[in-house]
Structure 1
Amino acid sequence: MRSKHNFFYRNSLSIVLILLMFIFWAGQFLTGWSTENKELDEEGHAAMSFWQYAQSGHFIQATFENWESEFLQMMLYILLTVSLRQKGSSESKSLEGKEEVDKEPESHTRAPWPVKKGGIWLRIYKHSLSLAFGILFLISFLLHFYGSYKEYNTQQIVKHKSTISASDYLLESRFWFESFQNWQSEFLAVASIVLLSVWLREKGSPESKPVDMPHDETP
């Protein structure tokens, strides 16, 4: 059956979000490039070109320390909402009884192929969302470490100090400070929407309860 809606209408949420990500990522790149070159100039070093900055530890670290925290937040939020509840929150499952997402999958004509296949494929697919975010977190964590390590040694060279090995840098407080400052803010943001959605509303948003729903009801 032909859809009455065009491609953009059907996918507008993801398109707009990805577009905004690229706009702000470009802003991060340009302002980061300018900041890094100002610091190099103050130290009497040559400025980085566009491509040099794209491969620099400064840009890689700044990008992936943020992506890492986002993927960690989503992975743990997905897992925690399986069994934990918040009375009255639009982000929580009901306090009583089983929900549609709790039922065991059944094979049918339009079911995803792992459901039809069964076995190991189904077992993996049942947890594929959290697994995907876990893998994305691990990749981002490793790239954050690489970028942060590279930037640290670059700064050491600029300041005419000795560089350190990757194993030594893993014990550096700087790397973990970068991670923890982002991780805590992500869970603050999630806790905020979980709690604020108990009492506050946004008409038309699936992240909100109906405007007339009592505060103590969980949708």
Structure 2
Amino acid sequence: MLRPIKDHQAAGKNSEPKRHWVKDHGLLLVNVGLFLVFLGGMIISGAASYSEEQQTHGGPPLGILQYLATGHFVEAVFENWESEFLQMAMYVVLTVFLFQRGSSESKPVDKDAPQDEDPRDAKKTAKTPWPVRRGGWVLKVYEHSLSGLLALLFLASFTMHAIGGTAAFNEEQLSHGLPEVSTWEYVASSQFWFESFQNWQSEFLAVAVLVGASVYLRERGSPESKPVAEPHYETGA
């Protein structure tokens, strides 16, 4: 009878780190999971909608894998990614220099913020990120690596939006007996910028609402909100 107890205890010990790991990464895991669910829904519904449109014009229906290679899908995905990464990159950079008194989304207005501390003056330990211990140009890049990554993702999405949008636009052109356009011509068109601006404006509206609303409104338990009993004009998380 002792052996099953030991095995059970061992199993509990082995599974405990897994439970901790999931808890430690729950926010990322849930968001990645939701992304995959919604992307899958977009692919399935988009393929069905696109096939219906093709059949309306006398064309053959497309399978899901075939749909993934269409300009319709590429343009739809990256048009949205483009606006998301632009919003996040701009937000990261703007919050370095700008403040909103009373907002949990702002650094404190009247006192120093830990984010502004020079890492060169920090005490180095084994747990200090390697770029900080390395110093020099490596640290210089690391200091702005978050905004740099988001900017690169925006540029990549912007490029794919242009490529996918060109393919979708040319497909529409050919269906009406009109000539195709190059990617550069499509980027210079009002259609491309309409697609971009309609997404960009909504992203910055959402940020403005969050920044302003967090001055007066609360969400107990969320790090995006100040403590419920904290005064309105207390700035920072």
Given the two structures, how large is their TM-score scaled by the length of structure 1? 0.96
> Residue 184 of structure 1 corresponds to which residue in structure 2?
201
- Residue 68 of structure 1 and its aligned partner are, at CA, apart by 0.6
| Counterpart selection for 1:195 from 212, 224, 227 | 212
Bigger mean CA offset, 51-60 vs 161-170: 161-170
**Quick one: distance in 1 between partners of 2:115 and 2:187?**
40
Where does structure 1 differ by over 6 angstroms across 4 or more consecutive aligned residues? Answer: none
Q: Which has the higher helix share?
A: 2
Q: Residues 44 and 64 of structure 2 are in contact (CA less than 8 Å); yes or no, is this contact kept in structure 1? A: no
> Residue 234 of structure 2 corresponds to which residue in structure 1?
217
Q: Residues 218 and 227 of structure 2 are in contact (CA less than 8 Å); yes or no, is this contact kept in structure 1? A: yes
Matching residue's letter, 2:227: P
**Quick one: distance in 1 between partners of 2:128 and 2:197?**
40
> Residue 10 of structure 1 corresponds to which residue in structure 2?
24
Q: Residues 43 and 64 of structure 2 are in contact (CA less than 8 Å); yes or no, is this contact kept in structure 1? A: no
Matching residue's letter, 1:214: P
Bigger mean CA offset, 123-132 vs 24-33: 24-33
**Quick one: distance in 1 between partners of 2:87 and 2:28?**
19
**Quick one: distance in 1 between partners of 2:18 and 2:149?**
32
**Quick one: distance in 1 between partners of 2:171 and 2:31?**
34
Over alpha carbons, which structure has the higher Rg? 2
**Quick one: distance in 2 between partners of 1:113 and 1:205?**
30
Given the two structures, how large is their TM-score scaled by the length of structure 2? 0.89
| Counterpart selection for 1:127 from 144, 147, 156 | 144
1:35 paired to 2:52: no
Q: 3-state DSSP class of the match of 1:6?
A: helix
> Residue 3 of structure 2 corresponds to which residue in structure 1?
none
Q: 1:168 to 1:213 in 2, by over 3 A?
A: same
Q: 1:5 to 1:104 in 2, by over 3 A?
A: farther
**Quick one: distance in 1 between partners of 2:183 and 2:106?**
41
> Residue 5 of structure 2 corresponds to which residue in structure 1?
none
1:67 paired to 2:81: yes
Gaps of 5+ in 2: 1-15
**Quick one: distance in 1 between partners of 2:190 and 2:97?**
34
**Quick one: distance in 2 between partners of 1:23 and 1:30?**
11
1:26 paired to 2:26: no
**How many percent of aligned residue pairs carry the same amino acid?**
45
Q: Across the two proteins, how many residue pairs are aligned to each other?
A: 218
**Quick one: distance in 2 between partners of 1:10 and 1:74?**
23
Structure 1, residues 170-214: CA drift from partner, whole Å, max 9, x if none? 211111100000011000000010000011101000000000011
- Residue 108 of structure 1 and its aligned partner are, at CA, apart by 2.5
Map 1:48-127 to 2 at 5 A: 48-105=62-119, 106=122, 107-127=124-144
Structural RMSD (CA): 1.4
Bigger mean CA offset, 2-11 vs 17-26: 2-11
- Residue 128 of structure 1 and its aligned partner are, at CA, apart by 0.3
Q: 3-state DSSP class of the match of 1:185?
A: helix
Matching residue's letter, 2:76: A
> Residue 171 of structure 1 corresponds to which residue in structure 2?
188
> Residue 9 of structure 2 corresponds to which residue in structure 1?
none
> Residue 10 of structure 2 corresponds to which residue in structure 1?
none
- Residue 97 of structure 1 and its aligned partner are, at CA, apart by 2.2
